[in-house]
């Protein structure tokens, strides 16, 4: 199903307040340097260099930063992983371990308030790139990336995040002059930046959800073209360690095609694939995903109105007087009593299931989601009724 979120959805206290704006100066300057092409000129050779650098460095980001270091979707040698890390860092997206550790945190808390770049909670532009400039996101969480932090050469490279792009920029200037530096290097760097950022922002806002993942991840075919296969983002969230993100034969995934070729050459091995049950949408969801989806569905119901209707229906019955007595005896007993009480205005499990069918992708866990959603509604309504009972008769 299609779904879109407002680009302006923000929490009450915008995380943008934490942005250290001097940190944005190099970011802005590199964007402005692209305008220098007015003076250097735009040659065919420089454009070809731009296209080539975009493709190579985008591959390094998708195959290196993302599928290898963040998700361990395949294995390779120690030398190859260092070269892959250096090539990925030539995109000027900070250190390899910094990138991968932040991405693991994103998946751990995807589209919750703890997600470092969630359009749902923090707004579109903060999710796109604003989060990068907040102090709490500047340091590498080596605990979250301990499996790779044990390699001293990777830690060294992570602590010199801009050495690879500086070396690459110098080489481009020596070989191709100012047009090569501005058009070839600067243009391609900015393009790689925003294509990568778009997966954090647009791929959680625009597109379709094939799988229930408990977050806003979406499949987007044109983002897949721009990012060499990363646009099949809902697929990725359904099975994060898959080396292939285009699960279906027609889902364009050039990163996977190159990785498959490298596996035939023996450069990489143990490529991870999603089980058929996951691909077909037949895998039952974990408890964490069910809980997250149920809470999201519960928000769609008018809890205050349902609580008011339940209170009015109960106010003239012995149940209300009994509830107030229970309140005076013990709150815990009252909560147990409420959980067993018939609430005619609360949607049934079947009604919630029908509601969920209209909003979610197909999943064998739909009954579990509906049951948990009703429990959440009953708990929320019970809490309000308890407060009403504690306040005494009206």
- With a CB cutoff of 8 Å and minimum separation 6, the contacts of 214 are 110, 111, 285, 288, 289, 290, 291, 292, 293, 296
Is residue 255 within 8 Å of residue 88, measured between CB atoms?
Answer: no
pLDDT of residue 114: 83
| 74-131 tens-digit pLDDT | 999 999 999 999 999 999 999 999 999 999 999 988 888 888 888 888 888 888 988 8
Beta bridge partners of 208: 2, 219
pLDDT at 321 over 70: no
CA distance 343 to 378: 8
Is residue 70 within 8 Å of residue 104, measured between CB atoms?
Answer: yes
Of the listed ranges 53-62, 197-206, 297-306, 350-359, the least confidently predicted one is 297-306
| 366-378 tens-digit pLDDT | 888 888 888 787 7
| 207-239 tens-digit pLDDT | 999 999 889 999 999 999 999 999 999 999 999
- With a CB cutoff of 8 Å and minimum separation 6, the contacts of 226 are 195, 198
CA distance 62 to 270: 17
For the entire predicted model, the pTM comes to 0.81
């Amino acid at each position: 199903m299609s779904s879109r979120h407002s680009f302006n959805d923000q929490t009450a206290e915008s995380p943008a307040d934490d942005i250290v704006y001097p940190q944005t100066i190099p970011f802005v300057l590199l964007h402005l340097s692209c305008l220098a092409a007015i003076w250097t000129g735009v040659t065919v050779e420089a454009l070809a260099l731009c296209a080539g650098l975009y493709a190579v460095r985008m591959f390094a980001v998708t195959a290196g930063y993302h599928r290898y270091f963040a998700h361990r979707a395949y294995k390779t040698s120690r030398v190859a992983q260092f070269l892959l890390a250096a090539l990925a860092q030539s995109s000027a997206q900070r250190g390899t371990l910094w990138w991968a550790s932040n991405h693991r945190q994103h998946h751990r808390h995807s589209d919750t308030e703890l997600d470092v770049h969630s359009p749902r909670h923090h707004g579109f532009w903060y999710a796109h790139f604003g989060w990068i400039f907040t102090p709490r996101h500047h340091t590498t969480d080596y605990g979250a990336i301990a499996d790779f932090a044990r390699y001293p050469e990777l830690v060294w490279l992570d602590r010199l995040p801009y050495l690879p792009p500086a070396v690459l920029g110098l080489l481009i200037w020596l070989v191709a002059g100012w047009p090569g530096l501005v058009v070839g290097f600067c243009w391609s760097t900015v393009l790689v930046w925003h294509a990568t950022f778009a997966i954090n922002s647009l791929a959680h806002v625009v597109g379709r959800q094939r799988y229930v993942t408990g977050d806003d991840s979406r499949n987007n075919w044109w983002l897949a073209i721009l990012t060499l296969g990363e646009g099949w983002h809902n697929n990725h969230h359904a099975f994060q360690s898959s080396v292939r993100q285009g699960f279906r034969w027609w889902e364009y995934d050039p990163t996977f095609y190159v990785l498959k070729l490298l596996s035939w050459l023996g450069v990489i091995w143990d490529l991870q694939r999603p089980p058929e049950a996951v691909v077909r949408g037949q895998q039952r969801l974990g408890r964490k995903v069910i809980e997250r989806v149920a809470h999201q569905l519960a928000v769609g119901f008018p809890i205050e109105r349902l609580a008011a209707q339940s209170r009015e229906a109960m106010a003239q019955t012995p149940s209300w007087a009994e509830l107030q007595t229970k309140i005076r005896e013990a709150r815990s007993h009252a909560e147990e009593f409420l959980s067993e009480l018939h609430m005619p205005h609360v949607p049934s499990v079947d009604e919630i299931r029908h509601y969920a069918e209209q909003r979610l992708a197909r999943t064998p866990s739909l009954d579990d989601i509906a049951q948990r959603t009703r429990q959440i509604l009953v708990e929320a309504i019970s809490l309000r009724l308890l407060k009403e009972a504690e306040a005494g008769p009206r």
